Chains A and B, each alone.
Chain A
């Protein structure tokens, strides 16, 4: 499947097969007015199978969220039908308002206006800890 069918927009490539809907929800793509294509189980040389999301509009993508969910994703920025930028992701060092601390003893459990901040504590295992109570994500 060719990406040049989009003139201006974004293609999220190399999504782990089966993760596309999760990413669709996290990025709130259902709020967009433009065309969004979810292509599942595309044959891939590297991955065997992969998902692809095509967004037919230039938009700010939260790369931290993407890097947290699936750091293997490639983000292709398309302008005038050509790839103008290709970004490879890494797990972000810090996540803001993506995860929610489940520790009932954490200050965030009683003061909901606080930002939920998680920090990467183990890059290999992609483990995040609450910046307030140091509780691990569950």
Chain B
């Protein structure tokens, strides 16, 4: 039985296989309408989400499966004090696969110790969000036609932004990747991420102003400064508007730049940018559903892993 807690749980070949399967399902949706018939996905969301939960549910429904679950801790026995492990043990009796989001880091790792069905980490606090990373990889591959030899700018909250950490870990596996880290001093990437980039031999540089580096980028990955990651409201208000992408800032950028964002956005991308063909973030949302279909099949169907 396989789980997905961290993007590095998958080999580069497995990631490529999932991305190819996503493309195959997208090209021939009729061939996969019954692929997960009689299978049930449980979405255990101890923390609110729009895209991640609904994309998982849409993905399973489009594969012919069904879904059950809850969308906040208040709507589950967690409100009565039940532990994550007891909840997962229970839900494993009802469902064939579990996608879980939890505000505490490492909650899916606790789930894996007791589960009888595959666990997908749909976000654990500020730690990992591997299905967002698969979404990002599919988007980048579709937008650029490759996953190697490019310069990726990551902008905004690089300290608490779990999507940034997972994306760096994933892209560092490919050849010729350079990172440009654009953030205020307070929100720089953690040391372990810097160490990871060094270990993988990636080039990286840091910048405080988007304008100084935007012309170098093939990908600009914008992130939200997340209120829930701050202990202090004053710090949140001071930093949230530091890095706002506008049409003016895009003038020196490359014509083939792709702008990604895990969404939801607050103020960091002006709505005026949406009409720019380089804005890829709504195409990215669609990739999220398609790659989750492929992941569900990868975890539930041994043939997709070359095991049967």
Contacts and interface: CB of A to CB of B under 8 A. Distances in A.
Given A114-B110, A134-B127, A106 B105 contact: yes
B109 interface: yes
A103 B127 CA distance: 12
Contacts of A131: 106, 109
A64 B49 CA distance: 41
B307 to A, nearest CB: 26
23 contacts: A106-B104, A107-B84, A107-B105, A107-B109, A107-B124, A108-B106, A110-B104, A111-B84, A111-B85, A111-B110, A114-B85, A114-B110, A114-B113, A130-B106, A132-B105, A132-B107, A132-B109, A133-B125, A133-B127, A134-B105, A134-B106, A135-B105, A136-B192
Contacts of A109: 104
B83 A106 contact: no
Contact of B105 (A103, A113, A114): A103
B102 interface: yes
B126 interface: yes
Interface of B: 83-85, 102, 104-107, 109-110, 113, 124-127, 192
Given A105-B125, A105-B126, A132 B83 contact: no
A131 B85 CA distance: 16
Interface of A: 103, 105-111, 113-114, 130-136
A47 B14 CA distance: 50
Most buried by B among A110, A111, A131: A111
B83 A133 contact: no
Contacts of B125: 105, 133
Nearest to B128: A134
A96 to B, nearest CB: 12
Nearest to A136: B192
A121 B263 CA distance: 33
B104 A105 contact: yes
A109 B103 CA distance: 12
Contacts of B124: 107
Contacts of B105: 103, 105-107, 132-135
A108 B84 CA distance: 11
Contacts of A130: 106
Contacts of B126: 105
